Homo-oligomer: A and B are copies of this chain.
Amino acid sequence: MPTVSSEELATAAGVNSAKLRKDFSYLGSYGTRGVGYDVEYLVYQISRELGLTQDWPVVIVGIGNLGAALANYGGFASRGFRVAALIDADPAMAGKPVAGLPVRHTDELESIISDNGVSIGVIATPAGAAQQVCDRLVAAGVTSILNFAPTVLSVPEGVDVRKVDLSIELQILAFHEQRKAGEENAPSPVPPRSGAAVRAASENRKGPDGDVPAVMPA
């Protein structure tokens, strides 16, 4: 399939073709009128724009079940990510191979970061250790952090943090599940609201001090 039309892509993605064309137009005029988009060229342009063509060395700190799962996750390599090192505070873990890499001790964190030019760090430690690890990563030069620990991290200006809360996705499913159940019998006592509330719950919004909606009780 050498070319593809906006209509085909839009159908596959479940969106309106005009939206797709307008979105693509922000990246440049990569289509040909009367023909469509050259697939290979389009893939390259989008990949470049998203940063997929770059090599991104990352470190994973905290090699428990989750850290190991991340280290073994196959989807990283195809998106340009390279696991530069696995780091854990437990001396007993040091040297043990996980996903083909020897686990390194936390003592080496700073040198690993600078030797490999790492700018992205993944924190998969227990909550108690996360802020301390974060501080060390930032001090060593990391400017983007993906946080799986159930804590809100505070970081200096210029450092990006994204928090992944594995239970939030479940929360969203349960929310919809509840509505399904409610509709079976009585119509909901609350008037049908705009999609905003539902969507706000699922977005990874980023406020000044973190990205957890303040209204969600812990």
Does chain B have a CB within 8 A of A141? no
Chain B nearest CB, measured from A108 CB (Å): 22
Q: How far is the CB of A196 from chain B (nearest CB, A)?
A: 7
B52 to A166, Cβ gap below 8 A? no
In the bound complex, how far is the Cα of B198 from the Cα of A160, in angstroms?
14
B120 touches A193 (CB 8 A): no
Closest to A161 in B: B173
Q: Beta-carbon contacts of A178-216 to B below 8 Å, as 1s and 0s?
A: 101000000000110110110111111111110001111
Copies in the complex: 2
CB-contact partner of A171 in B79, B166, B174, under 8 A: B79
Q: Which residues of B contact A217 (CB under 8 A)?
A: 43, 46-47, 52
**CB within 8 Å for A170 and B215 given contacts A23-B196, A28-B190, A69-B69:** no
Least CB distance, A198 to chain B, in whole angstroms: 10
Complex CA gap A154/B73 in Å reads 22
Which residues of the partner chain B approach A9 to less than 8 Å between Cβ atoms?
A: 214-215
B81 touches A120 (CB 8 A): no
Inter-subunit contact A203/B202 (CB<8 Å): yes
Please encode chain A, from 114 to 158, with 1 for each CB lying within 8 Å of some chain B CB and 0 for all others: 000001101000000000000000000001111000100000001
* 5 A-B pairs with the lowest CB-CB distances in the bound complex, closest first: A14-B207, A13-B214, A65-B69, A66-B69, A144-B173
Extra pairs beyond A120-B170, A202-B203 (15, CB < 8 Å): A13-B207, A13-B213, A14-B205, A23-B197, A27-B190, A47-B217, A65-B65, A70-B166, A73-B166, A120-B174, A122-B170, A146-B173, A158-B180, A160-B176, A203-B203
